[in-house]
Amino acid sequence: MPKKKNIENHINSGSYQSIITQEEHNSFVGRETELALFNQCLDEKEKSMKILNIYGTGGIGKTFLLYEFSRIAENKNCLFLHLDSRDFIHTPLTLAENLLIQINSNSENLNDFESLTLQNCFQVLRSLSMKLKVVIAIDSYEQMGDLDRWFRNVFLRQLPENIVIILSGRKRLKGEWEESPAWRKLIKQLKLEDLNYDQTRSYLANLKIKDEFLINTIWLFTKGHPLTISLAALNVEQTDSLPATINIEDEISNILIELTRIWLQEVRDQELSNALEAAAMLRSFDQSSLSYVLNQSISIDIFTKLTTLSFVRRRKGGWAIHDLIRDAIRVELKGRDHQTYQLLNQRCAWLYHSKVSQTNSVTDIAEFFYHLGDEFIKSTFFQNGIDPDLYLEHVGEHNIIEVKEYFEKRQKNIAANKVHYVNRETSSSYDYFVSQYHNKRESELVDLNYVNLMGHNVARLLKNDKEETIGVSIVIPINESTLEQLSSQPVSASFFQSLSDSELNDYAVPSHQNSGYFIRMLDCLDPADTSARSFLLYNLFPLLLSGGRIVTSTPLPFFQRLLKSFGFKEVPNATNYDFGKGYPSPSYILDVRGQQLLKYLGSFAQKRDTNDRMQEFSGTYSFTDREREIVKLILDEFSNAEIANRLFVAEVTVKKHVSRILKKVQVKNRAQLIKRLMEVNYF
C-alpha cells in the first residue's frame, strides 16, 4: 500500500515541489461549491461510484482546481492519480502504464508491480481501493475521443465502485454519457465560471497587488477570467514603475493574442475558422445572421461544430461566444487581416440596420450602434455586457419610500467620482470624472421632493439580484401634465423657456401621450460600478423608438461627448448655469419622430460606410492625411476652390494634391477618380 505523506511534510522538506505546492495553494481562490463537493466525495463511507465532470473554457482554471483537489486528497491520506490526456498515446495499455507509474511514484516501495499491464492495473486499483480512497483524474479529456468509448464501456466498468473519477475538459460529457440513464445518474456536471469581483480582488491581493486603480482596471479588462488575470498580474509584476504609473492597457493586445492561441486549439478546420471569425463580430448569432455576415450559406454541419466549441454558449435569441474570447478573436483578426475585419463589422452594422426597420426592436437598435465602431459608445454602453441580475423597477406608492432611502444614502456619501472604462479591443480607456461639488449640487436639485413634483412614474429604481437598490433613473415624459414643471425647474427650464409659443404648444400633447422625454438623472450609489452605469445607459435605447424628441442638459464633458456621439444637437440659447456660474450646462436634443428615426440611423450607416471607404482608399493608394481629406471632399462633390476654402490653403495647393491623387489612382480626371474609388465595394 502506498504510504501517503501529509502535505506539511512535503512543505517542510524544502523541495521545489513543496514550494510550488504551497504557493499554488496560497493563491487559490473561489470554487467553494466544487471544493465542497469533492470533500463530500472523499468523506463518503458508502461504496458508490462518482464521476465529476469539470468543464469550461481554456484558462478558466480547470487544471488549477485539480491541483487543489490533489492537495485536499493528500491531506486526507487519499491517493490522487492525475493524468493529462495530452501526455500519453491514447491506447488502453498506455493509460494503464501511466496509472501504474503514478501509483509507483506515490509508494515508498518502487518494486510493487511485476509488470505494467492492463490486468495488473485493475488488480492494483482493486487492492488499493480496499485500503484507502482512490481518485483518478484525467485532464484535457476532450482530446480522448479516440479512447472515450473504451474508457467508458471497458475501463470504468471494471473499476471498484468506490473509486472517484474526475474528467476535466473544455466540453461537458455528451453522447452516450448523456444518452444513457445509468451514466447520467453517476455523473455530476461542474461548469467552471469566471471569478467574481471579490474573488478577483483576493487573487490579486495574494500576488501583492493592492492598488485600487490597478485592481479595478484588471477587473474591467479580465472580467474575472483566471488566466487573463494571471497574465495581467504578470505584466504588473514585471513593471518597475510605481503603481500609479502602470498602464495595463499597453499589454492588452499581447495578452489577448496569447489567449487566442490557447483557445483556438479546438478549431482545426478553415471553414469553421471563418464561421468563428464572423460569430466573434456578433454579440449574439444564429445560422441566419452568420450567413448574412459572411455573405454565404453556413452548413448545418459547420454551425453545429461552431456551437459545440467550449467557449460558445446558448443564450436568449441565439448563441454567443464568451466575451473575453470574442474580444481576443476580434483583436487577432484585426491585426492579421484588417480588411476582412472591416468587411465583417460593416456587414454586421447593415444586418441590424435592416432589422430595425422591420422589428422596431431595442436589441436590434442597440446592436446597430455597437457595430458602428464608435469606441466611446462601445466602452460606455457595452462595458460588461448586459448584467442579467440587474433590473429596473417602476416607482409608485408601494415603493416610494425606497426612493427616499436612496437619496438619503446618496446625501451621506457625496464625494468625487472617477470611473475607468476599458475597451479591450482597441486597448483604449476613458475616464468618467464628476467633482464632489457637482454631486453635492445634484443632490440639492434632485431628491424625493423632485420625484413627487414630477410624478412617481418618472423614476425607476435599479436593483440587483438581492433586490437592493443600487441606482436610479429619472426620465420625464413630456406632455401637458409635466410641461409646466419642466419649464420652471432647474436644468430643464432653459430648454423649454427657449421655445416659441408654437413650439411649446407642440410639446403640450394630452397626458396619456408623450411628445418626447427629458433625461434628468442616471445615478449609481457605487460610482465604480461600471456594470450598473452601463445598464442604465443601455436602457435609454428604447427612447430612440419612442417616436418623439429626446432632450437633456448636462455640464459634464463625458456626457456631452456621449450625446454628440449619438447625434444629439446642441440647442442655441438654451444653456443654463444651474450647477454654478463656472459650470455651463448646454441643452441637447435628438428628434426621432416619424421617419426621422430611419433617416437618423441611415446617416450613421452612411457615415460609417464613408469612413470605411476612406480607410480602404488610404491603404490601397497610400494617401497622405491631406490627400485623404481632399479625396473625401471630392467624393462630396466640392470644387477645388471650395476645398481650398475649407482647408484654409491656396487653390493651387489643392490642384497639386489632386494631381498627385490622380497619379496614384492611375486615372486622368475627377470623374474617373470617383468611379474608380466607388468600385471599392464591401458587398
CA 665, CA 657: separation in Å to the nearest integer?
12
Strand order in the sheet with 134-139: 79-84, 134-139, 164-169, 50-55, 187-191
**Which run of H or of E encompasses 8?**
helix 7-13
Rounded alpha-carbon distances, angstroms, from residue 184 to 50, 153, 189: 11, 14, 10
Angle at the Cα of 319 (from 316 to 323), degrees rounded to 5?
100
Residue 248 confidence (pLDDT): 46
Q: Which of 478, 531, 485 shows the shortest CA–CA distance to 509?
A: 478
d(CA 625, CA 617): 11
Q: For the residues 70-98, what does the mean pLDDT come to?
A: 88
Instruction: Check residue 109 and give its pLDDT.
Output: 47
Element (H, E) at 469: strand 469-478
- Residue (of 152, 147, 95) closest to 125 by Cα position: 95
Residue 186, amino acid:
L
pLDDT score, position 354: 81
CA 164/CA 133 separation, integer angstroms = 8
Q: Taken in order 67, 68, 74, 80, is the CA torsion positive or negative?
A: negative
CATH topology of domain 599-678: Arc Repressor Mutant, subunit A (1.10.10)
Is residue 296 scored above 80 in pLDDT?
Answer: yes
What backbone phi and psi angles, to 5 degrees, belong to 259? -65, -40
Rounded distance, CA 638 to CA 459, Å? Answer: 49
The CATH homologous superfamily of the domain defined by 391-594? Gcn5-related N-acetyltransferase (GNAT) (3.40.630.30)
Which helix (H) or strand (E) segment is 492 a member of? none
CA-based nearest residue to 216, from 224, 207, 208: 224
Cell readout for 594 is 416619424
Return the bridge partners of 474, or none.
459, 521
Separation between Cα atoms, residue 456 and residue 396, nearest integer Å: 6
CA-CA-CA-CA dihedral for 638, 640, 641, 644, to nearest 10 = 100
- If one compares 405 and 295, the residue with the highest pLDDT of the two is 405
Spatial distance between the Cα atoms of 371 and 86, rounded to a whole number of angstroms: 39
pLDDT averaged over the chain?
A: 83
Provide the angle, in degrees to the nearest 10, between the axes of the packed helices 287-294 and 270-281: 100
Report whether 535 contacts 462 (CB < 8 A): yes
Task: Please give the distance of CA 451 from its chain centroid, rounded to a whole number.
Answer: 34
Taking each helix axis from N to C terminus, what angle separates 625-635 and 670-678, rounded to the nearest 10 degrees?
A: 90
Strand partners of residue 553? 587
Contact by Cβ (8 Å): 352, 345: no
Instruction: Look at 266 and 272; give whichever has higher pLDDT.
Output: 272
Which of the residue ranges 335-349, 365-379, 567-581 would you say has the lowest mean pLDDT?
365-379
Please give the average per-residue pLDDT across 178-186, as a whole number. Answer: 88
Q: What is the pLDDT of residues 609-650, one digit of tens each?
A: 565 566 666 667 778 878 888 887 887 778 898 888 878 788
Q: Give SS3 for 413.
A: coil
Most confident stretch, 164-173, 328-337, 669-678? 164-173
Q: Give the helix ranges, DSSP H, for 207-322.
A: 212-222, 226-237, 252-263, 270-281, 287-294, 300-307
Could you tell me the pLDDT band of residue 255, with boundaries at 50, 70 and 90? low
Cell numbers that stand for 69 in this block: 483537489
State the Cα–Cα distance between residues 180 and 164, nearest whole angstrom: 19
Return the closest-CA partner of residue 138 out of 95, 89, 92, 100.
Answer: 95
Residue 207 C-beta-side C-alpha neighbours within 13 Å = 23
pLDDT tens for 200-221 read 888 888 878 877 777 877 777 7
pLDDT in tens, 387-432: 777 899 999 999 999 999 999 999 998 888 877 776 666 656 677 7
Q: Is the pLDDT of residue 131 over 90?
A: no
341's grid cell? 475585419
Mean pLDDT of 253-276: 75
Structural domain boundaries in the chain: 7-191, 197-246, 391-594, 599-678
DSSP H/E element including 200: helix 197-206
Q: What does the block give as the cell for 87?
A: 501526455
323-336 and 270-281 are packed helices; what angle lies between their axes, rounded to 10 degrees? Answer: 110
- Is residue 451's pLDDT more than 90? yes
Q: What's 295's DSSP letter?
A: T
DSSP state at residue 285: B
Cell (9 digits) for 286 = 444564429
Tell me which H or E stretch contains 142.
none
CB 416 within 8 A of CB 433: yes
Q: Are 62 and 51 in contact (CB under 8 A)?
A: no
What span, in angstroms and rounded, lies between the C-alpha atoms of 522 and 127?
67
β-partners of residue 155 are none
Q: Are 438 and 556 in contact (CB under 8 A)?
A: yes
Question: Which of residues 497 and 11 earns the better pLDDT score?
Answer: 497
Q: At what angle do helices 287-294 and 300-307 cross, to 10 degrees?
A: 110
Residue 488 has pLDDT above 90, yes or no: yes
In whole angstroms, give the CA distance from residue 372 to residue 378.
9
Question: Taking 70 as the threshold, does the pLDDT of residue 548 lie above it?
Answer: yes
Q: Which three cell numbers stand for residue 424?
A: 479591450
Is residue 371 within 8 A of residue 634, CB to CB? The reply is no
- Residue 206 in contact with residue 230, Cβ under 8 Å? no
Number of H helices, E strands in the chain: 34, 16
CA 606 to chain centre: 27
The residue count of the chain comes to: 683
Give mean pLDDT, residues 153-164. Answer: 90
Q: What is the pLDDT of residue 238?
A: 53
Gap between the terminal Cα atoms of the chain: 70
Torsion of CA 164, 170, 175, 177, to 10 degrees: 10
* Helix H or strand E encompassing 65: helix 62-75
Contact 50, 186 (CB under 8 A): yes
pLDDT given for residue 399 in this prediction? 92
Does domain 7-191 match CATH 3.40.50.300? Answer: yes
Q: Phi then psi for 473, rounded to 5 degrees?
A: -120, 125
Residue 301 cell numbers, joined: 454541419
Is the model's pLDDT at 85 over the cut of 80? yes
Backbone phi, psi, residue 125, to 5°: -65, -40
* Neighbour tally for 20: CB within 10 Å: 11
Question: CA angle, 223 as apex, 217 and 226 as ends, to 5°?
Answer: 105
- The pTM of the full predicted model, rounded to 2 decimals, is 0.61
pLDDT at 515: 94
d(C-alpha 568, C-alpha 254), whole Å: 37
